[in-house]
Structure 1
């Protein structure tokens, strides 16, 4: 076999592959055998029809097509390896020459990973915000804990912000009830928001037995975005009574004996969480610095597919949240053009980051073992709210395991970059990352371990800037 490559662009290549006819013989033999099992020829047993008879009965062209369909995929892969090309999509293959008993030639056009030099990632410098746990942060968490143990008491007065009301809701349009627009006996906290625009304003000042109608806009269903008249009736008003933060409350709500111990634990847990957030920000910041050091040509088809996948994902999330795109953009203070520009920037950064991390993983010769793969599968299943075994079965059945392996390797590559970087907070303090544990505590430095396979690395980044492309089953 001979092959030649023509670079149509930095991210698209055209392979021309020439296969001598003798290399087609095993596939030809298999094609004759397969066809012999499928036809009936008088005087011959099924499966025992000679090739010459098959040529007369079926046609030599049919046999050649069958053989070519078998051999081309293998020769295509062989040509990729021979020319050190890494494909990013399925190829467009065309048989350009067929000379019976002599030679077969085909071309394959395919998007490929761009060739580029990995920028120096030793000693990168980045900055993140300080870790700060304020008294208001602690008070907010303690207040949430108090509310968990609060009790609701009926009150004979009008509802105010923070009260709980039991309500009936009915939505109508032009005097006709909207299908699915009725709710009865629902408990709702006044001022919570996130349900129907205008509801909180209507409820303030209403007492049990009061009814009020106001105009709003539907955020779900077939009439999403349309104006309706909403009638709300309050059947009960309740006030939440919260326990005092004392030693008795600490013993009831936690394993601590005193309120001071409880509050201090809340502060410590908040600090651990903020350290983990800071570490995620540090990974993003270091990766952003690295991205600024290199310009990589990107396959536009890959960028377009990822843009469409992410746009669809955003739209699905908005539907689940009961929001329209217009409402979302209004809340974010963005125009449609700004949203699209920001989305495209994130996609291009994400694709660029993948290429860089893949190359670093290859350069560092990272490997993974079965335990790492299993742990990653479980984690991904938990993130998507699926049963780990069902998730694993889906990954194997649809051949997504190589993608999971690549995610792990990218995580190791990113860990290598971050651990060699100097990250400081806004106050100029060096941020501890290498010995940060999954629970947010900082451990003792571990002894150096040789071999990439035993390198302890954090998970692949979860932020949108380095998000994995959407999976397709």
Structure 2
């Protein structure tokens, strides 16, 4: 087989391939064998009919068509490999010549990864926010922990900010009832602002059984964007009683015996979280500067595929009805033009980022070990609340294992850039990125979820410590299948893409 490559653009090539018929013998044998299983000829057992009789039955053209269709994918892959073409996306293949018994010729146009001129990474300089740990932040964490152990108690008084209420809602627009804005028995935390605008202000001061009308602009449905008269009726009022800040609470909520020990631990946790947040800011700013300074030609077909995927995701829950999508966008105060523009910009940025980080990984000979890939899979499974084996099965069925591998490799590539970049905080202090991101061996681009080590038994459960989740340790108390975390929410590892 012979092949040549024509460079059509920085991101696209045409591969010309010539395959002598002598190299297609195995493909012909396979085609004849398949036909013999499908066609019954008198005097021959199934699968034993000779090739010449099979050709006489179906015609030489049908045999050639089958052979060519079967041969093209493997011959294309062979040509790509032998030429060292870094193909991305699906090829457009065209058979240009078939000389029966002599030669098969075809061309394949495909997008390729462009050559990218990388800068000196030490020339990259970014400025980030300093790490600040205030007493207010510690108290906020302690309050959050107390709220998790708080109890709701019914009260016979008017609603106050912070109460928990059960309410009924109804609404009218120009005297017409709005069905989608009618609900009964809704639970709501007053002051959270999670339901209708103006609701919290209207509820405060009402007692159980009392109602009040207020106006609000509807944001969805048939009357989206219109002002409605909303009626709220309070059914029940409850307040949250928080446990006292004392040693008994520390023992209940953590592995510590005193409140001071718990507060000291919360301070350490806040410090670690602030470091993770700063690391994420460094990552984002370094990547942003790379994208602004490095020229990356974009393969049109790959970008289009990303845009098409975004549209598919948007209409998937709408029975793939684009008119329904257009209507929904209008109800949300947007338009299809804005959606298409945003999708195009997001696709271009995504493709540019991937191509750039892949080039950096190639230049640095970045590799991904089995342990690193396993860590990312475990981390992603934990993020989605799935068992690792279930998550692995899903990504294998979706043929996404290669994408996970690529993400880990890109995360390591970006970490290597961060290591070389100059980083200061806004006060002018140099930030030690090695301390934030760890050694090169640790920059896997994914977190690791390590099973908890049991430390000591407390009351009816176990106090445990998660040695490292995204580089941050977390303690918890497990009782009867319930897990109380004394640390902040789990955070994405700072190099995840």
Q: What is the SS of the residue equivalent to 1:70?
A: helix
Report the Cα offset of residue 258 of structure 1. 4.1
**Corresponding residue of 1:440:** none
Where structure 2 has 5 or more consecutive residues not aligned to the other structure, the ranges are: 318-327, 448-490
Could you say what the CA RMSD is over the residues aligned between the two structures, in angstroms? 3.5
Cα distance in 1 for residues equivalent to 2:65 and 2:316: 44
**Corresponding residue of 1:157:** 157
**Corresponding residue of 2:352:** 352
* Structure 1 residue 9 corresponds to structure 2 residue 12: no
Judge conservation of contact 1:350–1:466 (CA < 8 Å) in 2.
no
Cα distance in 1 for residues equivalent to 2:149 and 2:24: 77
- Seen in structure 2, the aligned counterparts of structure 1 residues 224 and 309 have a Cα distance that, compared at 3 Å, is farther
**Corresponding residue of 1:398:** 398
- Seen in structure 2, the aligned counterparts of structure 1 residues 54 and 145 have a Cα distance that, compared at 3 Å, is closer
- By percentage of residues, which structure has more strand? 2
Which region of structure 1 is more displaced relative to structure 2, 287-296 or 343-352?
343-352
* Structure 1 residue 53 corresponds to structure 2 residue 39: no
Report the Cα offset of residue 245 of structure 1. 3.1
Judge conservation of contact 1:198–1:216 (CA < 8 Å) in 2.
yes
Alignment of 1:169-188 (within 5 A): 169-170=169-170, 178=179, 181-184=182-185, 186-188=186-188
Judge conservation of contact 2:296–2:356 (CA < 8 Å) in 1.
no
Alignment of 1:302-317 (within 5 A): 302-310=302-310
Where structure 1 has 5 or more consecutive residues not aligned to the other structure, the ranges are: 318-323, 438-442, 447-453, 469-473
Report the Cα offset of residue 295 of structure 1. 0.3
- Seen in structure 2, the aligned counterparts of structure 1 residues 126 and 341 have a Cα distance that, compared at 3 Å, is farther
Judge conservation of contact 1:167–1:187 (CA < 8 Å) in 2.
yes
Cα distance in 1 for residues equivalent to 2:213 and 2:291: 55
Cα distance in 2 for residues equivalent to 1:425 and 1:287: 17
Cα distance in 2 for residues equivalent to 1:152 and 1:107: 71
Aligned counterpart for 1:456 among listed residues 418, 439, 442: 442
Judge conservation of contact 1:172–1:181 (CA < 8 Å) in 2.
no
Q: What is the SS of the residue equivalent to 1:455?
A: helix
**Corresponding residue of 2:284:** 284
Report the Cα offset of residue 432 of structure 1. 2.6
Could you tell me the TM-score, scaled by structure 1's length? 0.81
Judge conservation of contact 1:353–1:466 (CA < 8 Å) in 2.
no
Alignment of 1:199-278 (within 5 A): 199-216=199-216, 230-278=230-278
Q: How many residues align?
A: 442
**Corresponding residue of 2:131:** 131
Judge conservation of contact 2:358–2:410 (CA < 8 Å) in 1.
yes
**Corresponding residue of 2:384:** 384
Judge conservation of contact 1:329–1:336 (CA < 8 Å) in 2.
no
Which region of structure 1 is more displaced relative to structure 2, 23-32 or 153-162?
153-162
Cα distance in 1 for residues equivalent to 2:115 and 2:446: 23
**Corresponding residue of 2:474:** none
**Corresponding residue of 2:294:** 294
